[in-house]
Amino acid sequence: MNKNIISQINRSLDGYKQTVWVYKKATNIVSSNYDSYRNLGYSKTYQSPTPVNAVVHQISSTGLIAKEIGLSLTGAIEIMVSGMDASLIKNASKLKYRGQFYTTFHKALGTKNLITNLPFGMKKIVCFMQGNSDENNA
């Protein structure tokens, strides 16, 4: 496909793109309350988040039931990103959008992500809401 057409489409989407912060996998560090017998007391540290520009669309719970694999959740979003950013989001531990944390994994999916190929090298990824606090989003 002509790269000029793809660049024109990406420029036309620039007005709709919003920033999504991508947190990479956390590392476990032994904290001050570490217990070697029970293997407890780790603290998770995240690297600085990476900003990704994406077109974000809120999904209603009925949309998840009808469109995807039968999930009945609230607070899911669809993000549309370029192919290079999709691999970054696929390997992320969590995403932050408008103060809410999301993840690409859900217990009904196992270890799989809901990623759909779109024309012009774009990908659509469904993200599920986790919550607000950092302690709950490990």
Please determine, for residue 20, whether its predicted confidence score (pLDDT) is greater than 70. yes
CA gap 22, 97 in Å, rounded: 9
When divided into structural domains, the chain yields a total of 1
What is the predicted pLDDT for the residue at 69?
54
The helix, strand and coil proportions of the chain, stated in percent and rounded to the nearest 5, come to 25, 45, 35
Range of the domain at 84: 3-131
110-134 burial, b for 16+ CB within 10 Å, e for fewer?
A: eeebbeeeeeeebbbbbbbebeeee
Section 50-54 average pLDDT: 89
Please determine, for residue 138, whether its predicted confidence score (pLDDT) is greater than 60. no
**Nearest to 115, CA basis, from 86, 84, 92:** 86
**pTM of the entire structure?**
0.69
In a domain, 74, yes or no: yes
Average pLDDT of the chain, as a whole number: 76
What is the predicted pLDDT for the residue at 66?
42
In a domain, 33, yes or no: yes
In a domain, 20, yes or no: yes
CA gap 62, 26 in Å, rounded: 33
pLDDT band at 136 (very low <50, low <70, confident <90, very high): very low
pLDDT band at 84 (very low <50, low <70, confident <90, very high): confident
In a domain, 57, yes or no: yes
Section 66-84 average pLDDT: 69
Give me the CATH number covering residue 80.
2.40.10.270
